[in-house]
């Protein structure tokens, strides 16, 4: 049985899940490792902004998911961004926000489920991601899921200025989906509730 399940953002969030997202957004280490910026909003404003933006997160250009564990608790978030169907590629992003799940393979399983979704649902052939050269935990999870380092490149963000990032790629072999059982029924997930497992 799969330990990780991907639930589309479009399915909504409970109050406790919104509070977990907020807690992760305040965590300096999580934000540093994921390229984010520590949030400086009170919870009610965060919730209001998050819920207003929620409908735009599952579109032709991006697919976002809550990462659920085997107890159906949200442990992270992830998705595919800059989806380019003509070029058959996208960028992957993932944050395991629950520290108690770090180093236990949940990230690797979530990456595999995202890759399988990209290949089976979106017919993508290449998935890229960018991570910081010192984020070794993420690199191990990505490598174990089949990603390979491509190059280091200089990028710019307002939060970090000019900095180095490691580009990693996963190439789907031919037209076959990535190795995973993430999608049993491509029409709506492999579970009755319309979610996907790894």
Task: Give me the residue spans of the domains in the chain.
Answer: 58-197
Give the whole-number percent of the chain exceeding pLDDT 70: 86
pLDDT of residue 193: 55
Give the whole-number percent of the chain exceeding pLDDT 90: 55
Mind listing the pLDDT tens digit for each residue in 83-141? Answer: 999 999 999 999 999 999 998 989 989 999 999 999 999 999 999 999 888 888 888 88
pLDDT of residue 99: 92
CATH of domain 58-197: 3.40.630.30
Shortest CA distance to 113 belongs to which of 173, 177, 8, 198? 198
Q: Measure the CA–CA gap between 98 and 163, rounded to whole angstroms.
A: 27
Predicted TM-score (pTM) of this structure:
0.83
Q: Is the dihedral of CA 77, 106, 6, 152 positive or negative?
A: positive
């Amino acid at each position: 049985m799969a330990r990780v399940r991907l639930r589309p953002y479009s399915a909504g969030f409970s109050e406790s899940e919104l509070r977990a997202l907020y807690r992760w957004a305040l965590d300096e280490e999580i934000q540093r490792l994921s390229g984010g910026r520590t949030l400086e909003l009170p919870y009610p404003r965060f919730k209001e902004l998050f819920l207003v933006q929620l409908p735009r997160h599952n579109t032709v250009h991006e697919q976002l998911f809550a990462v659920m564990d085997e107890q159906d608790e949200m442990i992270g978030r992830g998705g595919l961004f800059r989806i380019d169907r003509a070029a058959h590629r996208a960028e992957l992003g993932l944050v395991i926000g629950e520290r108690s799940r770090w180093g236990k393979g949940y990230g690797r399983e979530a990456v595999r489920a995202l890759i399988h979704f990209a290949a089976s649902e979106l017919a993508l052939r290449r998935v890229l991601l960018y991570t910081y050269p010192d984020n070794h935990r993420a690199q191990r999870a990505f490598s174990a899921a089949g990603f390979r380092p491509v190059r280091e490149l200089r990028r710019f963000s307002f939060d970090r200025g000019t900095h180095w990032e490691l580009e990693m790629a996963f190439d789907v072999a031919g037209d076959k989906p990535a190795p995973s059982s993430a999608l049993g029924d491509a029409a709506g997930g492999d579970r009755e509730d319309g979610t996907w497992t790894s």
